[in-house]
Amino acid sequence: MEEAEIREPDATKDLEQPSLPLQGEAIKSACELFTPEESEDNKANDIIKIIGSCLKDAKKYNTKHTIKSLSHLVAVSEYVQLRAQYRKMKATKWPCLSASMAIACHMGKGPYFACQIRYNKLHLLQHGKLPPPKSFSRHGHHTLLDNETFLHNVHTYLASQVLGSVTPWTFSQQVNSVILPALGIDATITELTAQ
């Protein structure tokens, strides 16, 4: 190989060209090309908007699940703000972990709740709502909302009705007497569930 380089330097130049590092402006443009468009500020604003809409929805109902979801939403909101401050100050190597632990301790909870805060934040960004409680999926059972055929039938029914004419009672009757038997599902929903 060394003899070939000495005799014909132009022949071996092309072989080395692809392995040479990019120069100057090419490096800057490559960095800009592969830098994600969304900054941390945009993500923080998105999660705050999602939390705001979830809080509005949660305030409509007065159940145990609502109170728990309110505490989770407040915890995620505080976590996002504290994590942003930790990142600005560069006070810790792990701003996400430190922020979630601080919020959990402030709320009188432990490391499991801190982990839930981080998980809830990711779930909110991805799905726009908190994950369903574990009691909804007890023993590996899925909800009817996981069934695409059921959802399609419900959407078809709701689209065929006059706007404002569907009540929780009429909806539960339709689901119990038509939709579920057509799918071969031996179950019923209550008026509260339909609401």
pLDDT score of 108:
92
Q: What is the pTM of this model?
A: 0.53
**How would residue 7 be classed by pLDDT, with cut points 50, 70 and 90?**
low
- pLDDT single digits (tens) 11-60: 544 444 444 444 455 555 544 544 444 455 566 678 888 888 888 887 77
- pLDDT single digits (tens) 105-160: 999 999 999 999 999 999 888 888 888 777 665 555 567 776 788 888 888 999 99
Q: What residue type is 36 in one-letter code? A: P
What is the mean pLDDT of the segment spanning 57-79?
Answer: 83
